[in-house]
Structure formats: structure tokens, C-alpha cells
Structure 1
Amino acid sequence: MIVILGGGPAGRLAAMRLASAGREVKLIEKGGIGGQCLHSGCMPVCALNDVARLVHTAGTLNTLGLTDSVPRVNFPAILREMQKVQSTIASVLDAETKEAGVEILYGKEGRFDGNHVVVGDEKLDAESVILATGSRPNIPEIAGITSPGIFTPHTLRDMTCLPERLAIIGGGIVAAEFAWIFSRFGSEVTVLSRGSFLKTIDEHLRKQAARELSGVHIRECTDVLAVERQGGCLHLGLESAGCADVLDCDAVLIAAGLIPRSEALCGVSRRANGEVIVNEYMQTNLPGVYACGDVTGPPYLTPVARLQGIVAADNILGKQRKMDYSAIPQSINLGYELAFCSDGSSSARPLVIPGPAGPDTFWSVPASDTGLAKIMVEADGTISGICSASPGGGLIAGYMAFLMKRHFSVHEFEDFVEVHPSTDGVYGLAKYASEVLRKRNNPG
């Protein structure tokens, strides 16, 4: 028997892979199947962003005089209906997993004692173990941080009403996504970032994000020192450039990253921050014990967790498969999907154009805000990176990342026939880059 701790993307995919190969698999899941992605991560962002985009689009059309009103959101109803949809998705995942032959133990507190997975007082004998216990929000050490009115993506469902003034602690992708959502819902949003906002993102996408978040107060290099609640108001003590300040708000959302949930895992080697250390086969330091997903550390992405789970399962099945972290696509979901992928090359040259007009960008032409497309090209035409700010940027980045893994060249786009109209400017840039390189290499 193979025992898996955690039913998120990594553990669930591993379980299904093993069960489909005829192995007996027992999956231990304390909460709901689907993990953080379904219940407090990707899916809630999708749900809230869908409504925010509708409001945003309605506002654009109203400004142009094409419609006579902009809808107001019913925030409690959004959260209520969102949870109903999440339950539906969970039931689908449950049925899919069980149909693959996986036995699921729900509501059980599982831990690993260094030899066995222990559920309650029962030790489970297993030929192999997969640790996929996920991650949880990083809560900064700030005085008063547990005061009422302070939320994380895990507790957002407990927010009973839309705050008039919302402070978001964090400076990364999740902070940006929630800032855009709540600003479109009508909240006055202030982002408090300890360092530079979106500092690891491509410069062109960072500028696009700043444009989309123009209605949000973004305070960089700002530390939150303390939180004090007085009545219905939260007072945040801040420090920026050596100067003290106070910010008043109605609610706080902590979006300061994630930390591995590994405190119940004994015997496996871990880093100081709790990350379980694995090799390229997803093996821990213990024979027959594997780990995958967020518990192994960044990049904390659902597709990466899924692939790690499959790699762990394949190695248990004797297939000797390595995890490949090259060309991982990512996206920031604002009004557009700000998607990107890079192999980190320093020799590639950039080409950047505004995004083309098309579905969901046509009425953005008057504001000169149709997004952007960018590719990074080596001298031989190999594509080493792409960025796309467009309605379908995430899809574009996913396929381009796949081509980058196979060292695809811009010259191979010569026969590419696109669907029109489209908001994808990447393929056009690739064709243009091919022409430029051919003329440069064959000037006659």
C-alpha cells in the first residue's frame, strides 16, 4: 500500500497516477479535496476576479457613453455563491479520484513520525509514502496581528461585508490580484509592501500592473509595526524611510506569501523555513519517502505541484523520472492576465509591442490600454522568454513555455496561421523577429 498525506493538487494527482497503475493507495485529507488551490487560492481569485472584470468592463463602457449604469456588487452573495461552486468542484474531484481507485480518508489528522504515517492512534504500514501537506499563509510577526478584522486568503470567507477601506500587507502577485479585485468592488485599497512592489516581475509587466492598479495606493518599502483595533476601526502603525505614520482602515488582508506546512513531518530533512528537502526525483532523505507540492517550497504553483506529484508517483512505479523546472509560466490576474515565462538568459534581446485590439480589448483602444506582447530572442532565433498582458495571456504563456522547453525558434512561426481576431501579439512578434534576423544574417 502507498499512503499519501494531503489531497491538494500534488497529492491527488500522485494518488490517481498510482491507483491507475494498479497500486493500492490511501489518501489522507484533513479538509476538503483540492487543497489550497480550490478552497483559498486559485479558484477564489478566479471567482472574485470574474465579478471584478465585469464591473470594470461596465465602467469602461459607461465612461464611453455606451451604457447608462455600472453594477454594484453584493459582496456577501459573491462569497456565498462562490462557496457553493467550490463545493460542486470538490464533489467532482472526489468522484474523479475515487473512480481512479483511490481510497480517501477525510477529516483525519495525519502526521509522519519518521517511519509511518499516523492517523489518530493508528500507524499505517506502507511500502512508500508521499508527503504533500501543502502550505499556509505567512503571518508576519506584528503586534496585534490577530485582531478581529484581519484576514488571509484562507479566512476571506469570514469577511461579512465589503470594507470601505482595505489595507493589504504584501508586495507580490497575490497582493496585486486582491488589490485589483477589491478596488473594482469599490473599496479604497492601500498596499503595504516591505520592499519594492512586484519586484521580481518583468519591467514591462510591472508598468502594466501599475497602470491597472492606478486607483490603488501602493506604499513601497513600508513596514507595519503594530495593529490596534478601536471600535470598528483598525489603526496600523507604519514606518517608511525612518518616518512613523498611522493608517486607518476597516479591514486588513495579509498576502505576505506562504510557508510550508511541515510541522507534523518528523525524520525528513528540512530547511530552516520548513521546506522539505527533495532531490530531482522528489525523494526525501528517507528511503521510500517522497514529498511534493508546496511543502517542498517555491514556486508555490498548482501546475508545478501537479507535475511534482506525477514525478513522485512515476518514481515509485520505477520509471526514474526527473522533475524539470525550466520554463515555468506564471500569471498575474488583474483586468488582463499578465503572464510571463523566461529561461533567464542574459544574451536574449527584447521586442515589445502594444497588444492588438480584439475580444475584450476593442473598447480599450480609446484609452490606449490594450496590454502588451513581448518576446526575448537569442541571436539564432531561439525564444528565451515571453510576456503577454492580454485577456488570454495565461493560455499564450502556457503554450509558449512548452515550445521554449523544446528550444523553439522564431523562424518556425513563418507558417503559423492564427485565429482572428485575437489579442495575442506574441506570434506576430515572432514572425517579425524572424524577418529581422534573416535580413541581418543575409543582408544581400
Structure 2
Amino acid sequence: MIVVLGGGPAGRLAAIRLASAGREVTLVEKGGIGGQCLHYGCMPVCAMNDVARHIQAAGLFSKLGILGKVPDLDFEALLREMAKVQETITDVLDKETRDAGVEILYGQEGRFDGREVIVGSESLKSEAVILSTGSRPALPDIDGIRNEGVFTPHSLKAMKSLPGRLVIIGGGIMAAEFAYIFSRFGSRVTVLSRSGFLKNLDETIRKRAVRELAGVEIREGTDVLAVGGSPENLKIPLKNGGKESVLACDAVLVAAGLTPNSGMLEGIPKRPNGEVIVDEYMQTTISGIYAAGDVTGPPFLTPVARLQGIVAADNILGARRKMDYSAIPQALNLGYELAFCSDNNPRSKPLVIPGVAGPGTFWAVPASDTGFAKILVAPDGTLSGMATASPGGGLIAGYMALLMKRHFLVHDFSDFIEVHPSTDGVYGLAKYASGVLKKHEKH
């Protein structure tokens, strides 16, 4: 038997892979299957972002006189109906996993003692183990960070009403996505970033994100000293540039990233921050013990976790398969999908154009707000990176990342026939870059 500890994207895909190969698999999951993505991350963000975009679009059409009043938000109904859809998805994932032949043990948190998985008082004897216990919200070391009125993506469903004044602690993608959502819901949002806001992103993406967050107050280089006051009127002492001040708000959302959830894993090498150490085959230093997903550390992305789980499973099945981290596509979901990937080729040069008019951008033309398309091209024509802000940016980045892995040249787009209308300007840039390079070669 093979035991998989944790039913998130990594563990579930690994279990299905193994069971489909005819192996006996037991999956241990304390809560609902689906992990961080379904219950606290990707899916709740999608749900709330859909509503936020609807409100934004309604506001634009109302301003143009096409539609009447912008609809009111029922925040309580949003959370309630969102939970119902999550339950439906949970049932689908449960059935899919069981139909593959996986036995699922729900309700108890398993732990690993360095040799085997223990559930309650029972040891699960196994020939191999995959540790995929996921991640949890990273909580900064701030006095009062666990006080009532302070939420994380894990506790957001307990927010009883839409806060009039919301403070978001964090400066990364998670903070930006929630800032967009709540600002469109009608909250007055202040983002407190200890360093630079979205500092690790492509600069074109970062600037676009800041533009989409117009109306959100973003304070960079700000240290939160504490969270005090009452649950109805929180007080946050701050320090910025040597000056101290106090910010009042109705709720705080900590969106400072994730940290590995590995407290139940003992007798196994981990980094000081709790990351389980694995090699390129997703194997730990203990024979037969693998780890996959967020518990192994960044980038904390669902598609990466899925692939890590499959790689671990394939190696248990006897294949020598390495995990490939090159050209991983990512997206930041605001009004548009701000998506990007790169192989970090230092010789590549950028080309950028405004986004094209099409589904989801037509009415943005008067405001010159159609997003953008960007590619990075190496001297030999190799596509080495892209970024885009468009309604379908995530899809574009996913396929472009695969082409980059396959070392596609911009010249390979000469026969590309696009779907029209579309908001994808990346293919057009590739064709343009090909023409420029060919013209340069002639001279």
C-alpha cells in the first residue's frame, strides 16, 4: 500500500496517478478534499473576483448611460452561495478520486513520525509515502495579529459583513487580488506593504496592477507595529520612514503569503521555515518517502503542486522523472488577468504594445485601458518570455510557457491563424518580432 498524506492538488493527483497504475492507495485528509486551492485560495478568489468584475463593468456601463443603477452587493449572500459551490466541487473531486480506486480517510489529521503515517492511534504500514500537507497563511510576528477582527483567507468566511474600512497586510499577489476585490465591493482599502508592492513581478505587470488598483491606498515600506483597539474599531500603529502613526479600520485581512504546513511531520529533514527538503525527483532523504506541493516551499502554485505530485507518483512507479521548474506561467487576477512567464534569458529584448479591442476590452477603448501584450525575444528569435494584461491572459501564458519549453522561435508563428475577435496581442507581437529579425539579418 502507498499512503498519501494530504488531499490537496499534489496529494490528490499523486493518489489518482498511483491508483490508475493499479497500486493500492490510501489518502488521508483531515478536512475537505481539494486543499488550499479549493477552500481558501484560487476558487474563493475566482468567486469574489467574478462579482467584483461584474460590479466594475456595471459601473462603466452605468457611467456611459447604457445601464441603470449599479447593483448592490449582499456580502453575506456572496459567502453563503460561494460555500455551496465549493461543496459541489468537493463532491466532484471526492467522486473522481474514489472512482480512480483511491481509499480516502477523512476526519483525522495524519502525522508522520519519520517512518510511517499515523492516523489516530493506528499506524498505516506502507511501501511508500507522499507527504503533501500543504500550506497555511503566513502570520507576521505582530502583537495582536490573532485578535478578533483580524482575518486570513482561511477565516474570511467568518467575516459577518463587508467592512467599510479594510486594511490588508501584505505586498504580494494575494494582497493585490484581495485589494481589487474589496475595493470594487465598496470597502475603503489600505494596503500595508513592508517593502515594495509587487516588487518581484515584471515591471510592466506591476505598473498595470497599480493602475487597476486606483482608489486603493498602497503604503510601501510600512511596518505594522501592532493591532489593537476593539473588534469594531481596530487601531494599527505604523512606522514609515521613521515616522509613526495610527490607522483606524473596521477589519484587517492578513494576506502576507503562505508557509509550509509541516508541523505534523517529524523525523524528516526540513528547512528552518518548515519546508520539507526534497530532491529533483521529489524524494526526501528517507528512502521511499516523498513530498510534494506547498509543504516543499515556493512557488505555492496549484499547477506546480499537481505536477510535483505526479512526478513523485511516477518515481514511486519506477520512472526516473525530474521536476521541471522552467518557464512557469503565473497570473494576477484583477480586472484583467495579468499573466506572465519567463526563462530569465539576460540577452532577450522586450516588445510591448497596447491590448487589442475584443471581448471584455471593447468598452475600454475610450479610456485607453485595453491592457497590453509583451514578449521577450532572444537574438536568435527564441521566445524567452511574455506578459499580458487581458481578459484571457492566464490561458495565453499557459500555452506560451509550453512553447518556451519547446524552444519555439518567433518565426514559428508565421503560419499561426488566430481566433477573431480576441484580446490576445502576443501572437501579433511574435509575428512582428520575426519580421524585424529577418529584416535585420538581410542587412
Deviations 1:381-440 (A, max 9, x none): 100000010000000000000000000100000000000010000000000000000000
Whole-angstrom CA distance in 1 between matches of 2:61 and 2:97: 44
Residue in 1 that maps onto 2:296: 296
Residue 144 of structure 1 contacts residue 228 of structure 1 at CA under 8 Å; is this kept in 2?
Answer: yes
Whole-angstrom CA distance in 2 between matches of 1:3 and 1:204: 44
Whole-angstrom CA distance in 1 between matches of 2:378 and 2:230: 58
Whole-angstrom CA distance in 1 between matches of 2:393 and 2:87: 28
Residue 145 of structure 1 contacts residue 226 of structure 1 at CA under 8 Å; is this kept in 2?
Answer: yes
Residue in 2 that maps onto 1:167: 167
Residue in 2 that maps onto 1:193: 193
Deviations 1:154-206 (A, max 9, x none): 00000010000000000000000000000000000000000000000111111
1:275 aligns to 2:285 (yes or no): no
Residue in 1 that maps onto 2:136: 136
Q: Which amino acid aligns with 2:104?
A: I
Whole-angstrom CA distance in 1 between matches of 2:5 and 2:270: 17
Tell me the SS of whatever aligns to 2:247: strand
| Residues 301-340 of structure 1 aligned to structure 2 (within 5 Å) | 301-340=301-340
Whole-angstrom CA distance in 2 between matches of 1:242 and 1:194: 13
Residue in 1 that maps onto 2:383: 383
Tell me the SS of whatever aligns to 1:366: coil
Residue in 1 that maps onto 2:32: 32
Residue 231 of structure 2 contacts residue 250 of structure 2 at CA under 8 Å; is this kept in 1?
Answer: no
| Residues 198-277 of structure 1 aligned to structure 2 (within 5 Å) | 198-230=198-230, 232-277=232-277
Gap regions ≥5 residues in structure 2: none
Please identify, of 63-72 and 2-11, the stretch whose mean Cα deviation from structure 2 is larger: 63-72
Whole-angstrom CA distance in 2 between matches of 1:339 and 1:151: 27
Residue in 1 that maps onto 2:151: 151
Residue 149 of structure 2 contacts residue 231 of structure 2 at CA under 8 Å; is this kept in 1?
Answer: no
Please identify, of 247-256 and 63-72, the stretch whose mean Cα deviation from structure 2 is larger: 63-72
Residue in 1 that maps onto 2:433: 433
Residue in 2 that maps onto 1:49: 49
Whole-angstrom CA distance in 1 between matches of 2:120 and 2:180: 43
Deviations 1:59-103 (A, max 9, x none): 111112221211111100000000000000000000000000000
Q: Which amino acid aligns with 2:85?
A: V
Whole-angstrom CA distance in 2 between matches of 1:132 and 1:163: 35
Residue 13 of structure 2 contacts residue 309 of structure 2 at CA under 8 Å; is this kept in 1?
Answer: yes
Residue 147 of structure 1 contacts residue 229 of structure 1 at CA under 8 Å; is this kept in 2?
Answer: no
Residue in 2 that maps onto 1:412: 412
Per the TM alignment, residue 229 of structure 1 is displaced from its structure 2 partner at its CA by 2.0
Per the TM alignment, residue 109 of structure 1 is displaced from its structure 2 partner at its CA by 1.6
Whole-angstrom CA distance in 2 between matches of 1:359 and 1:233: 43
Q: Which amino acid aligns with 1:286?
A: I
What's the % identity of the aligned pairs? 70
Per the TM alignment, residue 230 of structure 1 is displaced from its structure 2 partner at its CA by 2.8
Per the TM alignment, residue 108 of structure 1 is displaced from its structure 2 partner at its CA by 1.2
Whole-angstrom CA distance in 1 between matches of 2:412 and 2:232: 60
Per the TM alignment, residue 231 of structure 1 is displaced from its structure 2 partner at its CA by 5.8
Per the TM alignment, residue 145 of structure 1 is displaced from its structure 2 partner at its CA by 1.1
Whole-angstrom CA distance in 1 between matches of 2:317 and 2:162: 50
4+ residue runs over 4 A deviation? none
Residue 171 of structure 2 contacts residue 192 of structure 2 at CA under 8 Å; is this kept in 1?
Answer: yes
Tell me the SS of whatever aligns to 2:176: helix
Per the TM alignment, residue 146 of structure 1 is displaced from its structure 2 partner at its CA by 1.4
Residue in 2 that maps onto 1:126: 126
Whole-angstrom CA distance in 1 between matches of 2:102 and 2:224: 46
Residue in 1 that maps onto 2:81: 81
Q: Which amino acid aligns with 1:96?
A: E
Tell me the SS of whatever aligns to 1:374: strand
Gap regions ≥5 residues in structure 1: none
Q: Which amino acid aligns with 1:412?
A: D
Whole-angstrom CA distance in 2 between matches of 1:127 and 1:289: 9
Per the TM alignment, residue 115 of structure 1 is displaced from its structure 2 partner at its CA by 0.8
